[in-house]
Structure formats: C-alpha cells, structure tokens
Amino acid sequence: GVYQGGSLISALLGNQARAIGVDNFAEFPTTNNFEQTQANLVKFGVADRVELKNMSYIDFFASVPDDFKIQVFYYDGEHNYEGQLAGMEAGWKYLQPGSIIIVDDFLYPEVNRAINQFIANHIDRVKILIAIDSMNDVDEIWWNGVIALRVL
C-alpha cells in the first residue's frame, strides 16, 4: 500500500530514483485514494518518477514480466499473517542479491510472525539489516516498527 504516498515520496526526495507504487485503495477509502496520492506526488515534485498502479499486489505481480527486477521492495500492506506473508513472497522472485526489503509495522504480532516465516523460508538468502522497535521510544516516526532485510 502507499497510503497517500508519504513513504514513497520520502524515498524519492533528493535523488533521481524511479518507483512503482501499488495500492488498490480499498483500505481507508475516505483518506486514501488514487487522486489524493497522485496529488501528493505532484505537490512534492516526484510524480514524473512514479508509476502509480491502482490494483492489488496480486494483480500487479501477475502483470509484470518474468525478468522484472526490484531493487528496493517496501511492503506496507495487509497486516494479517496470511496476507503479509503472501505479499512478501509475491515479490521474492523479482529480487536479486543486494536488493533491500523494507517492511513497515513489523511490531504487529501477525506481521512479525509473517516476517519471521519469510526469513525462515529464505534463511540462507536474506539477513536482517536493521529493525527499529519504536514501541520503546527509539523512533516515534516508525511508531509500529520497521525492519529492513538484504537479499544475499
């Protein structure tokens, strides 16, 4: 999900990277929609470098070619175990050594459990780079925690 584009915008400020944002905008429809997100991308001057997709991650990954590559995979989607794990696994085949996986809200128990399972599924292929546990006031910006993994 991209929820109004905040994380997407911050990732693109100060560089020339390009990104694809994927969200079906089904959750929080009164505050999170395609038009609001697109307007925010324009407001912060990054819209020309973002391809915003109004679809689920399932439909997105079904539509990309087999040789599609992801350098940074930021996942902030479903917060239940099954959806979280499925979303992360859906992107796996498009990652290569050196790719970074960033997962928001890892302090939610079901998200944490799914991340642990994902790591176990790829135990020799990923390592934890950093985990921010803001529940202990480490960083109030990442109030539900964030974890970054590197593909080996």
Report the distance separating Cα 33 and Cα 29, nearest Å: 6
Phi and psi torsions of 131, nearest 5°: -135, 125
8-64 pLDDT, tens digit each: 998 899 999 999 999 988 877 777 788 998 998 999 999 999 999 999 999 999 999
How do residues 82-139 score in pLDDT, each as one tens digit? 999 999 999 999 999 999 999 988 888 999 999 999 999 999 999 999 887 765 555 5
In 3D space, the residue among 70, 77, 85 whose CA is nearest the CA of residue 150 turns out to be: 70
Residue 16 makes CB contacts below 8 A (sequence gap 6+) with 49
